[in-house]
Amino acid sequence: MFDTDRRPRRLPRALRNTCLAAACVLGLGLPATAAAGEISPDLTDALATTAPSDEIAVIATFDDNVDADDYEGRRAALIRAMRRAARTAQNDVLEESGAEIEDQFWLVNAAALSASPDEVRELADEPGVATIDIDRPVTVNEIASGAWGAPLASPGAGNWGIAAIRADEVWSAHGLTGEGIRVGNIDTGVTADNPAVAGKVVAWRDFINGGSIPYDDHGHGTHTLGTVLGGATTGAPIGVAPRATAVVAKAMDSRGAGSASSLLAAAQWMTDPDGNPATADHPHVVNNSWSATDPDDPWFRGMVQSWISLGMVPVFAGGNFGPGAQSIGSPAGYPESIAVGALEPSGGAADFSSRGPVVWDDLDGQGPAAGTILNKPDVSAPGASILSAYDSGYAYQNGTSMAAPHIAGVAALIKQLNPEADPAALHQILRDTATDLGSPGADSIYGAGRVDAMAVVERFSAGQAPRANVVFVTTPQEHHRGRTATYGVSLANATEFIWRVDEGDWSAPSADSRFTVELAPGVHTVEILAIAPEGVAEDLGPARHTITVDRGRPKAVISWTARAGTVRLSANVIDDVSGVAPRSIAWSLGNGRAARGAEVIHRYVSQRPRRIRVRITDRAGNTRVVRRWVRPRAGSVRAIRGKRAVRQGAPRLKVSFATVRAGRVKVTLRPVRTIRGAFATNRNADGVSQSGIPPVLRVVSRPVSQKVVRTERGRRTARLRLRRPAPGVYRVTARLIGRQGRGERAVSRTIRIRR
């Protein structure tokens, strides 16, 4: 979850069941406990205070659901059946409702809507509608122990949690590193060019801003993902399954805030990222570093159950509401979820880590029986002083958010050993093989104890012949511009391997640790497979690496507009193969200044032509340089002249100015008031200027005289009537007005009026 080591203030009862540590969400687990068409109490209150013409964001759930047991082992068929059931239950009802449909879901049979109070009541009367509730905003608890200082450039000794759970022993003894396994992460996104996770994001969806390029404007998501699969590019490894790849859903914004419907949309997308159930592009494990405060809130249980039915392992942070008893939240508190507690480097439970047990109320009627004591957390993992990816470097963070990714990484190792491993069986074996901590046996502080990755792997492989395995240890970058690509491999329980490209012919067996392939431009899949010697089980592979070869330079059209000395430069870049990030568009502005981005706005002090140069580099490293001359445009009114001082009794003030085109010029005279002292803000210091003189603020007041002069190109004169203004400092300005003067800057001159 989003981390805090302090228990939050208790909420009103109406909200206590809905406030996530990462988000305030509504009930979406199915089947619902309420009678058909029941409007939640919170929504009832909202309807009473909402104007008839206003709309409310709601989520409606429907009765018709699929029995997953009828589709056991047939994942694609189950997804198709869930989609059919949702479509049948929802479409006719929603079309007749008149409400605006924001999104429709099939992972649970629900829809997000914007509806007026009357539309909500009419929808509740429709047959098949189970419940209607508010699509509550996602909120984040205060982060009391977030990233420690500025990001570090290197991970140094790495994540201490890897050795603590014996993941490094699994790497060396069994050759399991998560190769070929996808891990999902629903969080604040990912900084995809962080060295620890670069090239590992194979699927991305932004449910907050709709961005097509992965990013993390909060930092939490990058840190949790790094603990799952962060590599060792710039130092020691930080991830438990460093060869796994990531399916990332951004469901929370820069404040760690979003909506309940965005969380559900992210959970659904995880099950089938490309929309084709026949392709195996879903994550094998999903890490969820968020948690609700009420363990008996069943609203996300349908989502968790659907994941398990589809073979996906659900891992949840237990919560940061310790050390009080019964502080585990949901979905971690569900019987099906793997709830994770946090450990200190000393081996003890972190003070902030939520405790069990969970007294199950069975609000959804699905069991176990009400009053059943569920021992939660299930297991514990390192969760304090965890070093992982953050921004462009590395940082330490605390929380069960940091513990849960360790378990997700262990699950990825098991899925590499046996991709068909049952999530429920893995859940039980994690508990059975954990190292007992605290009082003998499972308890409400540590659960079954500290997870032991080696023991889990050995239990899964017990009674089985050792399995041949080969994994990539070095790969080219995801976007590549060379004619050849070299890979490094590591073998376990085998001495030879074979490789192929794009499902072509397999190569001859090789015992080398490296091989090189020739690649034409385009997207390619490189596969490797270990050859099992006698007495060794066959490789479950092949292991795959996708590489995009792009040897073409990006194309670009540079355009510019100028107004009153300000030039707006735009680069329209076309690169359909590897793409161009905005930060890789570098401008040289012709006056010693530089800038980055697809669009740059720059102000020049003179009107002389400038030669602009822009350098564009795509993700494969191909570069295009474009040069262009631009001419900043000066203002139409220039060179205002006149006396520096006049007498108070003078009847008129004579000023002249030059114009470069015809138009109407407004000339104004405004007094300038000077404020000295502590209330005058000075940008150079806080309260006192650098010279020790109290700060000064000059305020230009309303005009005391003005005149509009029609002018042709050339020098013109304006005479302002003075009418005995007060002595002091004044400012004379001249500016072209009207349609032609839009965007024009005023030219000014300071004068003094004396007695």
Active-site positions read 187, 220, 401
Picking from 381, 286, 298, the residue whose alpha carbon sits closest to that of residue 340 is 381
354, containing H or E segment = none
* 3 state SS of 121: helix
**Rounded distance, CA 139 to CA 259, Å?**
8
Radius of gyration of the chain (CA): 33
Picking from 293, 376, 385, the residue whose alpha carbon sits closest to that of residue 348 is 385
* 3 state SS of 577: coil
For residue 234, list its beta bridge partners.
Answer: none
Q: CB–CB of 560/628 below 8 Å?
A: yes
Strand 599-603: give its sheet, edge to edge: 555-563, 566-574, 599-603
> In 542-651, at which residue ranges do the beta strands (DSSP E only) sit?
543-549, 555-563, 566-574, 585-588, 594-596, 599-603, 610-617, 623-630, 637-642, 645-647
Q: CB–CB of 556/615 below 8 Å?
A: no
**Rounded distance, CA 159 to CA 721, Å?**
77
**Rounded distance, CA 68 to CA 106, Å?**
13
Determine the distance from the C-alpha atom of residue 431 to the mean position of all C-alpha atoms in its chain, rounded to a whole number. 32
Residue 80: C-alpha distances to residues 84, 107, 271, 276, 469 (Å): 6, 11, 12, 10, 34
The amino acid present at 483, given as its one-letter code, is R
Picking from 407, 447, 444, 402, the residue whose alpha carbon sits closest to that of residue 2 is 402
The amino acid present at 139, given as its one-letter code, is T
Burial bucket for residue 657 (CB in 10 Å: 0-12, 13-18, 19+): buried
Query: How are the residues of the chain apportioned to helix, strand and coil, as percentages rounded to the nearest 5?
Result: 20, 35, 50
Phi, psi of 192 (to 5 degrees): -70, -20
Query: In the structure encoding, which two tokens stand for residue 735, read together?
Result: 């500016």
Picking from 625, 504, 646, the residue whose alpha carbon sits closest to that of residue 556 is 625
Picking from 283, 323, 86, the residue whose alpha carbon sits closest to that of residue 203 is 283
Alpha helices by DSSP H, listed for 231-275, are: 260-271
**Rounded distance, CA 153 to CA 392, Å?**
8
**Rounded distance, CA 220 to CA 238, Å?**
15
**β-pairing, 585-588 with 522-531?**
unpaired
* 3 state SS of 681: coil
**Rounded distance, CA 201 to CA 285, Å?**
14
